[in-house]
Structure 1
């Protein structure tokens, strides 16, 4: 009897691990909730990408709803969503976080492709991204006028998501 348990216990444990892995693979990473939803942006003091001697903090953020976009010059999806961000910037302020990037490469990309960002934070060491719980780039956060994170989108921001998810949420924030 004891030998049967010794044989079946590892098999049952392996089966349990497989079930958990399969369940995790079936989740849409774009819909993973952030622990910071309905909480303020974490405090930070980091350099401005274009003026490295200037330290940016929460006090520099807009006092209206805005987007916080995590990107890097090394990120293919970031380059793909960039033209959309250029359009979006005409309607709502965007703060950029240049994530785990060589600052010079980030500056060159924005000079070449255009700069949709009101401010760009140099997060070359990933400090702010870690506080935000960033999984990778790109990520886009919707922040209200009080600095509270209201929504997080992980991955490429496309026109459909902008139109069907972000615009209604922004309209709700503007009514408040």
Structure 2
């Protein structure tokens, strides 16, 4: 429970504080968030990365069989936070683009996010689409089945490219 509260606080701070923080350099290019618009657009990506790291999405996603009610509640809380802060669909676009990438081109940061969804995800059920996670499962499926061009068209409200978003994830993980 304490971990969930910490995550709630961090995502809340991330949403408001990023407009004034210069994040530094990653892979030879400067990653900076200089406007409120950029901060809002990348807030969902930040929430996705923080959720994966703090709550251990890898452990939650990797389990087969029954999960505890507590694990399901944590996962739903994280996806509710990510979804509510992903107003431009950048986290959706990133998930889609990562699933579209060939296995041999995946970086450690790519794999970090993909542990949530796995490779070649199945289409989510109508019931699953009703949950906060459902949209992200749909994005993962679309990227896996239809490629990066489909991701660009589906999530056109996010002006950031893969390189910008994954550099942001790398900076958050550093």
Question: How does the TM-score come out when normalised to structure 1?
Answer: 0.29
Larger radius of gyration: 1
Structure with the largest fraction of strand: 1
